[in-house]
Amino acid sequence: MAHAFKREYGVSPINYIIDCRIREGKRLLAETDLAPSQIASILGFSSSSYFCKTFSNIEGTSPTEYRKANQVKF
């Protein structure tokens, strides 16, 4: 089943889930004042350090730096 998923979507199921979590993390960082540790918990990461490391690897910047550059001002 994983092979069929990868053929259809071009990425493994776990990478697809991680990408979805990071996308939601970006939204939460930009639109809320939640701490990265709270966001990590909401998104189901096992720890805030794992969230921050994964986020940095994918986005090329830390969650805190991403927030500074992208936070929506109300």
50 in helix, strand or coil? helix
User: For residues 5 and 20, what is the distance between their CA atoms, to the nearest angstrom?
Assistant: 15
- The pLDDT, as a whole number, for residue 68 is 96
- The pLDDT, as a whole number, for residue 72 is 85
Distance between start and end Cα atoms, the chain: 45
Tokens, residue 28: 């939460």
CB 51 within 8 A of CB 63: yes
At the topology level of CATH, where does 2-70 sit?
Arc Repressor Mutant, subunit A (1.10.10)
- The pLDDT, as a whole number, for residue 32 is 96
pLDDT band at 74 (very low <50, low <70, confident <90, very high): low
Q: Name the burial class of residue 44, with classes exposed (0-12), middle (13-18) and buried (19+) by CB atoms within 10 angstroms of its CB.
A: exposed
The ranges assigned to domains in the chain are: 2-70
pLDDT tens string 11-70: 999 999 999 999 999 999 999 999 999 999 999 999 999 999 999 999 999 999 999 999
